[in-house]
Amino acid sequence: MSKLPELGINTIRTLSMDAVERANSGHPGTAMALAPAMYALWQHDLNYDPADPLWPARDRFVLSVGHASMLLYSTIFLTGIRDIQDGKVVDRPALTVEDLTQFRQLDSRTPGHPEYRFTAGVETTTGPLGQGCGNSVGMAMAEKWLAARYNRPGFQLFDYHVTVFCGDGDMMEGVASEAASTAGHLGLGNLTWVYDSNQISIEGSTDLALTENVGKRFEAYGWHVQTLTDGNDVEAILGALRAAKAVTDRPSLIVLKTVIGYGAPKKAGTASAHGEPLGGEEIKGAKAAYGWPADAPAFFVPEGVSEHFAEGIGKRGAAASAQWRELFSAYRDAHPELAAELDCIFENRLPADWDKDIPVFPADAKGIASRQSSGQVLNAVAKNLPWMIGGSADLTPSTKTDIKGGGSFQPERWGGTYGGRNIHFGVREHAMGSICNGIALAGLRAYGSGFLIFSDYMKAPIRLSAIMELPVLYVFTHDSIGVGEDGPTHQPIEQLAQLRATPGIMTIRPSDANEVAEAWRVLVPLTHKPAVLVLSRQNLPTIDRTKYAPVSGLARGAYVLASCEGKPDVILMASGSEVSLVVDAYEKLTAEGIKARVVSFPSFDLFEEQDQAYRDSVLPPDVIGRVAVEQAAAFGWDRYVGLGGSIIAMNSFGASAPLAALLTKFGFTPEAVYGAAKQQASRGK
């Protein structure tokens, strides 16, 4: 290897070691092992312009082994990636040497694991192992969809590749397996995973827990598999990367054998090189092994290294992005309507009149299940938002989330096209969530759906949607003990509380079809927040809005649906299907001359965003008689009913029985609500 390539590789290694040592925290060994592969990919293969990290047609790189974050930060610094501010590229470096010295420190640009939005050049937030693998499948699917919809003869706008560095931990996580199975089925030839097989985890050798032949497993998934035995052979690595790109009908796995902590005299190949600083003596020995100047200070960058990267990825990327921008300018003239759609995608804007076909539902005592009304609204929105795509974890007939006439996102051999808008995730909830995040990272509006109980399988990706501020929509149906005979394994209890407790998520549980429609109006325009729509299996009466308050109140989270004149003696509040119960109680109380108020409470999150004056107007502080009703855990309602208020909620895991029997057993009856309201009204007088 000539001098500058070797210096480039070893500079990545030494910067990574020095940053971990300065922080006295981190994972140096994987960065040391993967530096040659990082160099091969970025300097010679990645179609990426450091001066324009938002270039839509760039190749994507995902560091799923997020604990090796210094590998990426060192590369971002050395390749000169420009910074991003307010969604625009600015003329300053994303990272400086000073930023590297602040690794893992408060408010630094180099947090312990890569974080999307905080550091330009980071394509997704990776920390929980396997999530980056799932994200990459979504990114690859998005590229296929963009190409199918927008590429035209002579205008190959989208043909980017997604490359992932993953490790033994990723291979042990179920989400990566789910995602790999999905990618193999879909034949995503624009996806390569480089598996760092260093055979070390925190506890020691992976022989403790992982002894299977991973390559054979991926062959069974339908992947193209290559194995390289020398993690330092840049030419072999580059050849494998290019061979992977040449296989266009299936994803590729490169099994790369490396030595964790390569170069460290005592810790190389050991678990101690994984998750702790090397220590001064080991760093000194490793640098000597690299031929590093003995008197070089920490964070030393040899002369010519940055220029070397500028001549490689810098020059190559600048030419590629400039050529693409010229192509897109011509495309705009040839296909103005499609270009206008792409402008919206690139700028995270909605098309004009996207909501013009959302239906208004007539009052109906029999009503309609909110999953059913949501399906109608989804299709009304999808008609005018062509880049909204999604599906379910094998539950579309139940969740009503298919886009009519949208086709299936499938390769032709499975009877679909990559331009299909309905994604069949299979029974893979965890992968569905991480894939939706990857799709959203490409600018498309992604949604995933399932039963509310199975949001448990999606906790990690939903949380990461919130951390990354991605506008993913999660549609969860079968929201209560209304599931009936399926029993406690399928009856959600604590899930609503969990979603409401997660920062940065907008959770809405509508009470009728028109609240569903209004919820979609609120959720779709969100650009920096995921949303959760919680829907019923059973019919919900459609409220007569000529008698009760207009549905526009939903946008404020909770609103007065009906009320007496003056100060009420009791406030009845509920979400979802239970609103009809409190309305019945309100009518009985009113007939008896008891002053009552009904508050429809579809969203804690929206309500908490309102100013204190509005919240007090809905829930006057001097009204202490209060009742909350919800077929879920009581947790969270206490802040609205107060210490002396009454909460009719679930305190167990439910039971298997027809719905009517369950409502009686657990106290969700008109009589129970009326009785609690009468008791609370006496407190309010």
Residues annotated within the binding site are: 27, 67, 127-129, 168-169, 198, 200, 274, 371, 398, 454, 478, 486, 490, 537
CA distance linking residue 291 with residue 212, whole number of Å? 37
Cα→Cα distances 638→310, 451, 565, 646, 647, Å = 59, 26, 26, 9, 8
Other beta carbons within 10 angstroms of residue 10's beta carbon come to 23
Tokens, residue 418: 């990559």
CA distance linking residue 455 with residue 498, whole number of Å? 10
Cα→Cα distances 521→78, 261, 353, 381, 465, Å = 45, 52, 11, 9, 20
Helix, strand, or coil here: 608? helix
Q: Residue 152 gets which letter from DSSP?
A: B
Q: Are the beta carbons of 628 and 641 closer than 8 angstroms?
A: yes
CA distance linking residue 174 with residue 181, whole number of Å? 11
Beta-strand ranges (E) seen in 605-675 are 626-633, 646-650
Tokens, residue 47: 């179609």
Residue stretches of the annotated binding site for Mg(2+) = 168, 198, 200
Pair type for strands 88-93 and 82-85: antiparallel
Closest CA to 202 of 167, 253, 229: 167
CA distance linking residue 215 with residue 192, whole number of Å? 13
Read off φ and ψ for residue 548, nearest 5 degrees: -110, 175
CA distance linking residue 429 with residue 170, whole number of Å? 17
Tokens, residue 367: 């009503």
Cβ neighbours of residue 439 under 8 Å, at least 6 residues apart?
A: 138, 139, 141, 142, 389, 446
CA distance linking residue 175 with residue 181, whole number of Å? 10
Query: Choosing from 21, 115, 123, 429, which is the catalytic residue?
Result: 429
Cα→Cα distances 508→362, 457, 515, 576, Å = 21, 20, 9, 9
Q: Are the beta carbons of 556 and 614 closer than 8 angstroms?
A: yes
Q: State yes or no: is 592 an active-site residue.
A: no
Other beta carbons within 10 angstroms of residue 203's beta carbon come to 10
Q: Rounded to the nearest 10 degrees, how much is the dihedral formed by the CA atoms of 157, 252, 418, 180? A: -130
Catalytic residues: 429
